[in-house]
Structure 1
Amino acid sequence: MNDAAKQPSEQDLTPRQQERRAAIVAAARRSFLDRGYAATSMSGLLKTLGGSKATLWSYFRSKEELFAAVIEDVTASFRQQIETDLLTPGELEETLVNFCRSFMNRLSQPDGVATWRLVMAESSRFPEVGQIFYRQAAGHVERALAAYIQQQIDAGRLRDEGALDMARLLTGMHKAGLHRRLWGVEPADGTDTQAEVHRFVGYFLRLFALPH
């Protein structure tokens, strides 16, 4: 599709168009999380939403583009929260605990668990699912945390073992708990979140913190 056919950005839409776009994303969100990626189709969404195919395609040119908008919607408040956690002045340990608490709480919420299940289940058949999720969500978290870790490295508080690798190590510790919840081994409500957060941050600081 050529550049002239590109949709306007969300900010360029009229209030009525923004409402319509939001309704499409909300319906797609329910379908993707309840039924899965493969079982969700643009034609199926039309039956739910009504309207014409041309109208739907004027907002989203493909299922992949619509899925990206859903992931953006699902993770919007979380991404804002972690940026607040990392940008709020505070001690290194306190900041990491706040970040990890937000991360764990998000992974324990029903739509967080449902999104993770969807990505894990369907990425092998539909690589775009994993690629979109990483770009819109997981990769964003890693990059935000890595930027904060790099600041602490530059300030002489942490050893430099590669900020992105260090960020992936810390988030990876928490994902092990998520997997146990996905498998039904542990309650899905993240009951032990607080204890895990402090334990994992402690591990991280013992590995990388420099003496004052």
Structure 2
Amino acid sequence: MSTPTQRSGRPRKGEETVRRDQLLDQAMQLFAEHGYGNLSLETIARTAQVSLRTIYNQFGGKSELFGAVVRRVSDEFVASLPLETGLDRPIEAVLVEFGCFYLGRITRPACTALRAQIMAEAARFPEFAAEFYRNGPERTLVRLAEFFTLQQGLGFVAEMDSHFLAGQFLNAVRGERFHRQQLGLETPPTEAETEAWVRQVVRHFLNGCMLQPAAN
């Protein structure tokens, strides 16, 4: 009886995607554990069980690989904030949903560890910091600014710099609690805590904190 032969040759497209995702997962974990300067591509290749040639062919180098790691995380943020399709829903509901997703992701231990490494090594490796900002925070900021611009066009948001609005909202969502978590003074919030925090942020962001003067 003949035995089945193993298929040789290049992996199928779906398999390539899975292998790429696995490589990025391993790389993110290693960057979070070791930082940028102390981590070699050889270590990443060995841990991910791929060849150095594969990394160079797919990404170009360590800086570009790190950019791809961050970009994949920010892809989730960008996809979670609808633009045209979000115009059919109340702005408060869209911002709460996005804020919960955003805060839930950035407070994951792997993400906070990675961010801590970035802050520690930014001065020594400016390309490391640049890749992080360009592929992560900047993309999220631009997407949110586009959302506010559309809301301004509908007359729901005051006319002002939409990038300023986006930055203020993201800073409010991260808040002091995220800063404490980065310092190891607080554990990641639960889903219920995240939602309660974000709802409060959105309510304050949209309405402000000053009371309107009473009519005479």
Q: Same fold (TM over 0.5)?
A: yes
Partners in 2 of 1:180 and 1:92 — Cα distance? 29
Match of 1:74 in 2: 73
What is aligned with 1:65? 64
Spell out the pairing of 1:130-169 with structure 2 (5 A cutoff).
130-169=129-168
Deviations 1:42-90 (A, max 9, x none): 1223443556544442223211011112112334334322348973731
Q: 1:104 to 1:88 in 2, by over 3 A?
A: farther
Consecutive unaligned residues of structure 2, counting only runs of 5 or more, are: 1-10, 210-216
Task: For residue 192 of structure 1, give the secondary structure of its aligned residue in structure 2.
Answer: helix
Superposition pairs for residues 121-200 of structure 1, below 5 Å? Answer: 121-176=120-175, 177-190=177-190, 192-200=193-201
Runs of 4+ in 1 over 4 A off after TM superposition: 16-20, 49-52
The amino acid of 1:68's aligned partner reads: G
Shift in Å, 1:26:
3.2
Deviation at 1:18, TM superposition (A): 4.5
1:206 and 1:168 mapped to 2: Cα distance? 17
Q: Does residue 38 in structure 1 map to residue 37 in structure 2?
A: yes
Q: Which residue identity does 1:206 align to in structure 2?
A: N
Q: Say if 1:106 and 1:47 are closer, same or farther in 2 by CA, change over 3 A.
A: closer
Task: Give the counterpart letter for 1:27 in structure 2.
Answer: Q
- Structure 1 residues not aligned, in runs of 5+: 1-12
Count of residues in Structure 1 that have an aligned counterpart in Structure 2: 196
TM-score norm. by structure 1 comes to 0.79
SS in 2 for 1:39: coil
Identity of aligned residues (%): 26
The letter for the 1-side match of 2:204 is: Y
CA contact (8 A) 1:108 1:178 kept: yes
Say whether 1:201 aligns with 2:209.
Answer: no
The TM-score, its normalising length taken from structure 2, stands at 0.77
Return closer, same or farther for 1:181/1:51 CA change in 2, 3 Å cut-off: closer
> SS in structure 1 opposite 2:206?
helix
What is the SS of the residue equivalent to 2:27?
helix
More helix by share: 1
Native 8 Å contact 1:173 1:200 kept in 2: yes
| Change in 2 beyond 3 A, CA 1:124/1:201 | same
Report the Cα distance in structure 2 between the residues aligned to 1:207 and 1:132, rounded to whole angstroms: 34
Moved more, 17-26 or 182-191: 17-26
Residue matched to 2:114? 115
Please tell me whether Structure 1 or Structure 2 has the larger radius of gyration of its CA atoms: 2
Separation in 1 of the partners of 2:123 and 2:28?
21
